[in-house]
Chain A
Amino acid sequence: MKTIEDLQKIREEMQSKISLRKDDGDSIRVVVGMATCGIAAGARPVLEALVDEVGRRQLKNVIVTQTGCIGVCRLEPIVEVFEKDKEKVTYVKMDPEMARTLVSEHLVNGRVVQAWTIGASE
């Protein structure tokens, strides 16, 4: 049973942690397409998997956000990764399992999964 007390405990834990998620220039931004095409193609579970994995691993430098139609609807679900001083990486036809691998391979280990990018699918 989730209660308001549980939420208060979460707040206290987060307030006592030394650093919270920072939205500055050094953050890695992970953007999930969430327009009609994305939602119909299954973007919501992809987003949920990303948020869950980033949370589990406590990756404070990663920000997960949503966007509208990217323009390549047939390749949805699409996940874009923006990192300072690096080229944008666009992952296409994602699913929740791939999303979790994306977090460990790309966000943690810094290795782009080339096979899943838009360049590989054309």
Chain B
Amino acid sequence: MKELSLNVLDLAQNSLSAGARHITIEICESEEKDNLHIRIVDDGAGMDPDFLKRVTDPFVTTRTTRPVGMGIPLIKMAAEMADGQFSIQSRKGEGTELNASFRLSHVDRMPIGDIAGTVTTLIQGAPEVDFVYIRRTDSGSFEFDTGQIRGLMEGISLREPEVLSWIREYIAQGEAGVMAQEV
């Protein structure tokens, strides 16, 4: 993956496959603490302790088309390459929480990339699911919640191209607002 936004897209797809109806993506970057943190929380099917223990193994997967699952191993590697940490918690029947941290200034720390594109792609694929995206920096935070705009749309699907286009630009400008003070 060339940017972390693609890993996030991939991992949130896991949440969708697990039947999640509510997915939160939180990205916190702090120059003061020299830290980048990504958190993905879902209310999907979750994993039992046995599967959870093995889930970072690329040869462990729930899909049937191929015997490998690279999504989680890739984010774990990205975090560890940038002097960070990876952890994942899950409860069967309740959901899963994934945390990946990175040293922000590490030379091997992958760029965050186009998160607005990732969130928009997720909504396009699952317009009925509630996505909450939070971006925090040292200057402030921006939050986008599909639950709030769904009410506004009065039954019109969020996957309509005009709506998706608005969402993408709204998120991009919201992110730019909290990143404004950073170099």
* CB-contact partner of A69 in B63, B117, B121, under 8 A: B63
* Total A-B contacts with CB atoms under 8 angstroms apart: 89
Of A10, A56, A64, chain B has the most CB atoms within 10 Å of the CB of A10
How does the 8 Å CB contact mask read for A1-38 relative to B, with 1 for contact and 0 for none? Answer: 11010111011011100001100000000000011110
- Among B1, B17, B124, B166, the residue within 8 A (CB) of A2 is B166
Closest chain B residue, CB of each to CB of A3: B170
Restricting to B1-42, which residues have a CB under 8 Å from any CB of A?
1, 6, 9-10, 13, 17
CA distance A69 to B10 in the complex (A): 11
Stretch at the interface among A47-55, A80-88, A94-102, A106-114: A47-55
> CB of B100 within 8 A of chain A?
no
Q: Does B154 contact A (CB under 8 A)?
A: yes
9 contacts between A and B (CB under 8 A): A7-B166, A10-B166, A14-B162, A21-B160, A55-B162, A55-B165, A56-B161, A65-B125, A66-B121
Q: Which residues of B contact A (CB under 8 A)?
A: 1, 6, 9-10, 13, 17, 63, 65-66, 69-71, 74, 117-118, 120-121, 124-125, 149, 152-154, 156-157, 160-166, 169-170, 173
